[in-house]
Structure 1
Amino acid sequence: MTQLDLGLKLSTRRTRKREFLDEMRRVVPWLKLISLIEPHYPKGKTGRPPFPVATMLHIHFMQQWFGLSDAAMEEALYDVPLYREFAGLDGGITRLPDESTILRFRHLLEAHGLAEQILAVVNEILCAKGLLLKAGSAVDATLIPAPSSTKNGSGTRDPEMQSTQKGGNWYFGMKAHIGVDAESGLVHTVIGTAANVHDINAAEALLHGEEADVYADGGYQGIEKRCEGGSVRWHVAMRPGRRRKLDLSDRVDAIYDQIERLKAGVRAKVEHPFRGLKRQFGYTKTRYRGLKKNTDQITTLFALGNLWMARKALLTM
């Protein structure tokens, strides 16, 4: 029996995935991003005409939101009507983008450094709407594991990834360093490094230059000495071991503890983008080989994450 025989209208059911795509369709600045990509997009003067930039951009973003590889994205377009509808491929289209087409579009974005420009366009719009302020920043980094297996074509691990130790455990992969707006928690700067690069070495590069105060956890102890003479005030958390020794019955120690609580309340904003990256978008392991490719993907995810975190405010404007 078909859907019509049963009297069902499954294509119009308001599932969570459909709601999510409808919201993102409304908040992503499609026209600005398309105009950013079009100068670099092939014109297709011979052979089959290329798919529209809008179609490929919709597909590329669905890859990021749902953690799909190029091959998996191709199969999903055949299997999931909702994906074809979102990409504008449900109106008498006789062919769908294959794995190679999806791969070439991603390589186009990588070759022209468009991931950083996409983040810049998104943040420009958020600034114009008063959602991204520049009075203060918070900085932090998170480990992104990479496949450690050598069962691949080259027989080696990714040479640009490194190992580091955290909490008594060893990790192989990279780090995503971010600078976020201290008020809204929206990401304004992204840097990717090997996992063994200390957080403090990337700290200054995470500032946009207009902030007056910067908040960081205990891993950034000593950054004030590196930035002596700078125009920003660093508010770095006390090391946990030292804080545990505070005697809260002592008036001075109690004041120090309260200051740490206040700093932690601001610094916590930097955890929200990491939550979106790893839980909302399911990005828990690198997909490609090389820092550049993975950093581009992470930058795109943070740009989309900014829109996702600000979507309620954007939808009401």
Structure 2
Amino acid sequence: MNPKELRIVFMGTPEFAVPSLRALVAGGYNVVAVVTTPDKPAGRGQKLHQSDVKLAALELGLPVLQPEKLKAPEFVEAMRALEPDLGIVIAFRMLPEVIWAMPRFGTFNLHASLLPQYRGAAPINWAVINGETETGVTTFLLNHEIDKGAIIGQIRVPILPEDCVGTLYDKLMHTGTSLVTQTVDSIAAGDIRPVEQMHIDQAALHPAPKIFKEDCLIDWTWDGRRIVNFVRGLSPYPAAWAEMYKTGIETPLPAKIYTAAFEPAAHGEEPGSIESDGRTSLRIACADGWIALGEIQIAGKKRLPVRELLLGLRDIGSYRFRK
């Protein structure tokens, strides 16, 4: 079958899904509708915020569906009326079977990891946090379990030492675009051999659960490489953070840390102790050396390189970080 004749329903929400949607339209694929989340109030003015996928779909002139409930009869009927041949999901909600099983060729998902590793909501973050040197993108057929459907295709992507979650996100977002179109072509050609995720030793898998603020707190008793990977895996968002204490003041001052480097060294300092020349360098004692900070944002201030931060923080010697 000609892949450009498939009636495709595209489902997604964030920026990560947008390049794939644009590539499908630019490639002449028949995207008959886009499904995304309802508009939500956001910001100080509580103005309605439209998802990145919706904004792209409107720009491309595509019909948009925004169901509150995916099992709602009116949405199910709207989907049936589209007569979809194929569903594509990228960073969307968990679909009920009545929706993912409706297209005659099923529904596939693009996931930002090399499944079965890093199943979950934050695969890019956790791959960097765990010090991986390789990750990738996977397309798989949806079934009843999250991220456990039969694998269609994968593309591997190296994680470079200088990568943070922000740079890796961009790489995987664009690599995923080519895998999505390849997968559509293979499905249309009847050329897929889905590999079931069965008989896997669960103890050998790394999960990728959603990350909350409390998960981003740095522990200075960790070894240095672990701390640097932790910072990289959370930069620029949601950002690793730590608590600064000034001598004589009990209230902590939260600080987000965006870049850092590890300097191995033997020392007798308490983890969290600060060493600084007061002008260009600021480093924190950890279990097996020092963490040299690159960019930091103290609560209520802008994100700054350490050199600029120290210009306005002349008493840095009176501070320390909580372990």
Q: Normalising by the residue count of structure 2, what TM-score does the alignment of the two structures yield? A: 0.26
More helix by share: 1
Structure with greater proportional strand content: 2
